[in-house]
Amino acid sequence: MTLARLCLVAALTLAACKKDGPAPDAPKPAPKGLTVGLVTDVGGRGDQSFNDSALRGLEAWAANQKSLDGKYVALTAEERKASVPAELEARIKELGIKPVVLQSKAQEDYQPNLQLIVDQGADLTVGTGFMLENAVETVARQNPGSKFLLIDSPVLDAKGAPQALPNVRTVVFKEEEGSFLVGALAGLVAKEKVGFVGGMEIPLIKKFEAGFRAGVKTTNPKATVLVQYTGSFDNVGQGKQAAQDLVSKGCEVVFHAAGSDGNGVIQAIKEARAAGKAVFAIGVDSDQSHLAPEAVLTSMVKRVDLAVWQAASDLKAGAFTAGDQTMGLKEGGVTYAPVRIEIPEKAAVLQKVEALRAKIIAGEVKVPSNTTDLESFTAPTL
């Protein structure tokens, strides 16, 4: 090889090295953005309750985005501020997460939707609701290298006992504690009768009922609690019919734990108030006052949004762990929404409710989580 050719080869080699390797002071490539996928239950987007709370935690809080006409757009500063409750403002930060959401129209959609999100390369896959438990377990076992979050249920074995999977975090809530507080409020507002509308008559919803009835018993032991179940979570008409029946029987406050059926409950109470009846609704999962500001006394808020955001935050920090978590009043997992309606002796009423909150957090009051324990429940003194 001639000297000229040797020089040419050396020059080409040097050029190639400079092209393939960045200069020492060149900026490093930005890390790959994290994707969190979420599968709704059949209630879907727009239920104004459980699913929308989960979506808020992912889309608004973690990604600072909203879905508009099938596309994501950034939230305005005003929209973001409105989405985060005052008590969480200092905690909730935008995470730069990319959200992917699949809505389930039927229970048969759960497993394929979860698998599709995994196949799309999501760093975390969220199953929203206890009805996804079997599907999350199946897909998690089939994809041991993927991370999962299951809301509202532990992973259960064949005998129905909780079991741990190394790639699944589960979050359940002490719904009975938040329901106790709104029950106490209902008992202080109503004179003789209050109502409860549940969706499916299952242990999870029985927790709402038991806590609510215990709260009413504490502040108004003479009040009658009438209970109805719709048998679903996605039938607005059934919810409205159930609430209308309770109003016709004299209920002065009606609390629902019925998913989208609850929208019908609130509509029925709104119409009853417009007709001159003195009756209030209590919403669930999300603050539902915007659905009927004049009719919704408060809502039992279940912080599904916080559970989803926290999982995404842990994922970003490299601190996501599997295992079972429980969130009650002490952990900020349940609470009640601000009471914006004027009621007699409002300040004194809320002071009594807050005193009961303190007793529960301190362990002085054990709220029943099922109707069997409710029978032996001794109401605390105010």
Query: Tell me, what CATH number does 129's domain have?
Result: 3.40.50.2300
On whether both 191 and 73 belong to a single domain, the answer is no
pLDDT tens, position by position, 301-318: 999 999 999 999 999 999
Please say if the pLDDT value at position 147 is more than 50.
Answer: yes
pLDDT tens, position by position, 83-140: 999 999 999 999 999 999 999 999 999 999 999 999 999 999 999 999 999 999 999 9
Q: Using a pLDDT cut of 70, give the percent of the chain over it.
A: 92
What pLDDT sits at residue 360? 98
**Other beta carbons less than 10 A from residue 89's beta carbon:** 10
Q: Is residue 290 part of a domain?
A: yes
What pLDDT sits at residue 366? 97
Please say if the pLDDT value at position 31 is more than 80.
Answer: no
Contact between 92 and 309 (Cβ < 8 Å): yes
Q: What pLDDT band is residue 7 in, cutting at 50, 70 and 90?
A: very low
Say how far apart CA 193 and CA 277 lie, in whole Å: 14
Q: What pLDDT band is residue 14 in, cutting at 50, 70 and 90?
A: very low
Q: What pLDDT band is residue 20 in, cutting at 50, 70 and 90?
A: very low
Say how far apart CA 246 and CA 242 lie, in whole Å: 6
Amino acid at 255: F
On whether both 112 and 251 belong to a single domain, the answer is no
Say how far apart CA 225 and CA 222 lie, in whole Å: 10
Please say if the pLDDT value at position 13 is more than 60.
Answer: no
pLDDT tens, position by position, 357-377: 999 999 999 999 999 999 999
Say how far apart CA 352 and CA 185 lie, in whole Å: 9
On whether both 186 and 93 belong to a single domain, the answer is no
Q: Is residue 186 part of a domain?
A: yes
Q: Is residue 73 part of a domain?
A: yes
On whether both 139 and 234 belong to a single domain, the answer is no
Looking at 154, 173, 192, which one is the last position of a domain?
Answer: 173
- What total number of domains does the chain contain? 2
On the 0-12 / 13-18 / 19+ scale of CB atoms within 10 A, 226 is middle
Please say if the pLDDT value at position 21 is more than 80.
Answer: no
Say how far apart CA 46 and CA 366 lie, in whole Å: 34
Please say if the pLDDT value at position 73 is more than 90.
Answer: yes
On whether both 75 and 134 belong to a single domain, the answer is yes
On whether both 188 and 259 belong to a single domain, the answer is yes
Contact between 233 and 205 (Cβ < 8 Å): no
Domain containing 368 equals: 176-301+344-375
Could you tell me which of 371, 324, 368 has the C-alpha nearest to residue 156? 324
Looking at 150, 173, 196, which one is the last position of a domain?
Answer: 173
What pLDDT sits at residue 33? 86
What pLDDT sits at residue 22? 38
Which residue shows structure tokens 């507002």? 189
Contact between 37 and 149 (Cβ < 8 Å): no
Q: What pLDDT band is residue 382 in, cutting at 50, 70 and 90?
A: confident
Please say if the pLDDT value at position 23 is more than 50.
Answer: no
Q: Is residue 18 part of a domain?
A: no
Q: Is residue 217 part of a domain?
A: yes
On whether both 120 and 155 belong to a single domain, the answer is yes
Residues in the chain: 382
Residue 318 backbone zone (phi > 0: left; psi -120 to 50: alpha; other: beta): left
Please say if the pLDDT value at position 27 is more than 50.
Answer: no
Contact between 211 and 365 (Cβ < 8 Å): no
**CA–CA–CA angle 242, 290, 205 (5° rounding):** 40
pLDDT tens, position by position, 242-263: 999 999 999 999 999 999 999 9
Q: Using a pLDDT cut of 90, give the percent of the chain over it.
A: 89
Amino acid at 7: C
Q: Is residue 30 part of a domain?
A: no
On whether both 165 and 235 belong to a single domain, the answer is no
Q: What are phi and psi of 15, to 5 degrees?
A: -65, -40
On whether both 236 and 366 belong to a single domain, the answer is yes
Q: Is residue 326 part of a domain?
A: no
Which two three-digit tokens encode residue 216?
């009413």
On whether both 110 and 121 belong to a single domain, the answer is yes
Q: Is residue 58 part of a domain?
A: yes
On whether both 50 and 166 belong to a single domain, the answer is yes
On whether both 104 and 201 belong to a single domain, the answer is no
pTM, to two decimals: 0.88
What pLDDT sits at residue 32? 60
Looking at 155, 173, 191, which one is the last position of a domain?
Answer: 173
Please say if the pLDDT value at position 235 is more than 50.
Answer: yes
Please, what is the average pLDDT of the chain? 92
The 3-class SS string of the chain reads: CCHHHHHHHHHHHHHHHHHHCCCCCCCCCCCCCCEEEEECCCCCCCCCCHHHHHHHHHHHHHCCEEEECCEEEECCHHHHHHHCCHHHCCCCCCCCCEEEEECCCCHHHHHHHHHHHHHCCCCEEEEECHHHHHHHHHHHHHCCCCCEEEECCCEECCCCCEECCCCEEEEEECHHHHHHHHHHHHHHHCCCEEEEEECCCCHHHHHHHHHHHHHHHHHCCCCEEEEEECCCCCCHHHHHHHHHHHHHCCCCEEEEECCCHHHHHHHHHHHHHHCCCCCEEEEEECCCHHHCCCCEEEEEEECHHHHHHHHHHHHHCCCCCCEEEEECCCCCCEEECCCCCCCCCHHHHHHHHHHHHHHHHCCCCCCCCCHHHHHCCCCCCC
Could you tell me which of 132, 319, 280, 275 has the C-alpha nearest to residue 194? 280
What pLDDT sits at residue 84? 96
